[in-house]
Amino acid sequence: MHDGGNVRRIVGFPDFIPTVRTEYPRFFEVGQRVLTAMHSVAERDYTRPEPHQRAILNLSMLAGISLVEVIVLAANGLGHGAMRTLRSLLETAINIEYFRLRPESFQDYKEWYHVERFKELEFLSQHAPEILAQIDAGAVAEIKRDMARVRARFLMRDRNGKSRGLRSGWSSLNLDTRADATGYTELYRLINPMASSFIHETMYGLLRHFRAEDDPRRVEVPPTLKWSKEALSGAHNCMVGVVRTLSRTFAVAPEPTVEVLEREWRYTWTDPRPENQQAREPEQPAQ
């Protein structure tokens, strides 16, 4: 829009933010305290943490960034986009708990780096040889050596031991199996189908963009409250899990505690909310 002769570009729908805050007053009252709790553990100094523990620290901080991204998108009436980010946050929460329970699995996660780097090299070789030619020959040789070293770790084999090529990800277990192993089964089954339908824009996902009472033939144009509740409540729930994993990994009580965060999540999303009810102070733990 124009303002005094100068062009002012507005990103998102800031005028819609008060609508979202009014719709979910309890979340904006207490929900973001999970970030305070996460930082209260992640930002401490730890003496020589194990490699998987350091990954848990850093991935937890990335999970916190994902929560902020969900909030920004949902607050601007872009709930569908927030759901896509929620899917990433869910996977991060599952993975860090998996590393806590099975520290040996982190080695696969770490070594998969060399597979992705080699695939990038292959892409350049096939589609952008002029860029590949600019990369130091020593670096290229190192990438190839590292790939040769880790290849066997990621090969899929049939019952006779014959190779069927590289698997598609760092873990030999699919995300749903890792969710089962980490206590995230219910949350995975709730979030993944919805969020994935938006990521892949399947017909199921496409139809969720429509608002029949407005125009049955065209997707609804944002801003909208649709999918903001699912995105915010799901991200809030995932971050409580992230804080729980951090706390258990380092035997440190976060501030607020996990018990308080769980109580605040229920207060925000499951406690009865009479229409137009004002937010109240959440129940505090017994002293």
Question: Residue 130 burial (CB < 10 Å; 0-12/13-18/19+)?
Answer: exposed
Query: E strand or H helix at 93, and its extent?
Result: helix 79-101
In degrees rounded to 5, what are phi and psi of residue 230?
A: -60, -40
Least confident of 113-127, 151-165, 252-266: 151-165
Alpha carbons 185 and 195: distance in angstroms, whole number = 15
Half-sphere exposure of 275 (CA within 13 A, CB side): 0
* DSSP letters spanning 31-81: ITHHHHHHHHHHTS--SS--HHHHHHHHHHHHHHHHHHHHHHHHHTTBHHH
Provide the percentage of residues in the chain whose pLDDT is more than 70: 92
Q: Specify the pLDDT at position 274.
A: 54
* Residue 233 pLDDT > 80: yes
Secondary structure (3-state) at 156: strand
Q: Specify the pLDDT at position 275.
A: 52
pTM for this one? 0.89
Q: What one-character DSSP code corresponds to residue 224?
A: B
* Residue 225 pLDDT > 60: yes
Secondary structure (3-state) at 211: strand
pLDDT digits (tens, 9 = 90+) for 200-222: 988 888 888 877 677 777 888 89
Q: What's the token pair of residue 226?
A: 């649709």
Alpha carbons 15 and 282: distance in angstroms, whole number = 28
Report the DSSP beta bridge partners of residue 146: none
pLDDT digits (tens, 9 = 90+) for 109-124: 999 999 999 999 999 9
Report the DSSP beta bridge partners of residue 6: 3
Q: Specify the pLDDT at position 278.
A: 47
Secondary structure (3-state) at 102: coil
Are the CB atoms for 41 and 243 separated by under 8 Å?
yes
Closest among 25, 19, 58 to 275, alpha carbons compared? 25
Q: Specify the pLDDT at position 140.
A: 97
* Residue 283 pLDDT > 50: no
Q: Specify the pLDDT at position 62.
A: 98
Q: Specify the pLDDT at position 277.
A: 44
pLDDT digits (tens, 9 = 90+) for 36-89: 999 999 999 999 999 999 999 999 999 999 999 999 999 999 999 999 999 999
